[in-house]
Structure 1
């Protein structure tokens, strides 16, 4: 009977990428197979220890050492949003219009849709990859290049950081708007080229 060889990495096995060197603990001549970050500000720089010394180092490791309670709380709050800028809805409500909300289930009853296509459901032939960019810009499908450019100019002017006192959240929102615009523009341009080739 054949037995399968277990190739899984066990929890206390040495790191397979460990360098061939001795433990970084002073006076230790054991092979170093376990890494530990050098500091909170250098998490990608490591000490290399043997197993007993990495356990000792980890037992004494305090990520928040030297930080005040206020700094610790701010750091934890940043971690909740993956260190991305965020804001309460009430802080930006005065600057946001109904077109700035993503409402894929149309819970706002079509209120965020404006223009000649208002209230019309998305066409079933809409590419799935365009659903999020269209929602980001508050546009419907099908879409013309002129409509896309007009909508982009309006949103870019409204959310540009220079028009909002250098606001960091406006900058982040504008980045998302730019990504959505680039995605839609590329799709429309390639579809247009395909149409021209078919008619040539």
Structure 2
């Protein structure tokens, strides 16, 4: 004994179809299939017989009469299900702010304070350690990190007077040392100015 499937098949007439005839002029068949009237009335239907609903669907063009710009706009809206959307990480065009979160139990304050303290410590540690690109230059000027612009200028003036070629009567070693000091000063100063 075989059971009859109660599953509705796509080409079967709509079980909720009204008792009426096909809306195609001159057709006397029973209307069991619905089709939307147009793109602005998707919830209002024509009722057709199977033959006429197939013809209607074959000619249906949702974008008929729309300009390319309107079609593009419709496609973009359909991507987000006709709902407004914002850039990731923002809310309604505004950036998320933890201070705006309602926190009656004060749960977020302890983690917020810990994150702020950790960020402050990382920033302080980063400032206390000389950048790798400047370590050789600091050694050349015999300076410790962190260094101020004033301390850098003072040290440069001392070493420039000491190793300048004019002050050393053409000594090639002093000239090389002056070049190293000048390059180190320029590199460190450029880094400090960019901070």
> TM-score, normalization: structure 1?
0.48
Larger Rg: 2
> TM-score, normalization: structure 2?
0.49
- Bigger RCO of structures 1 and 2 (CA < 8 A, at least 6 apart): 1
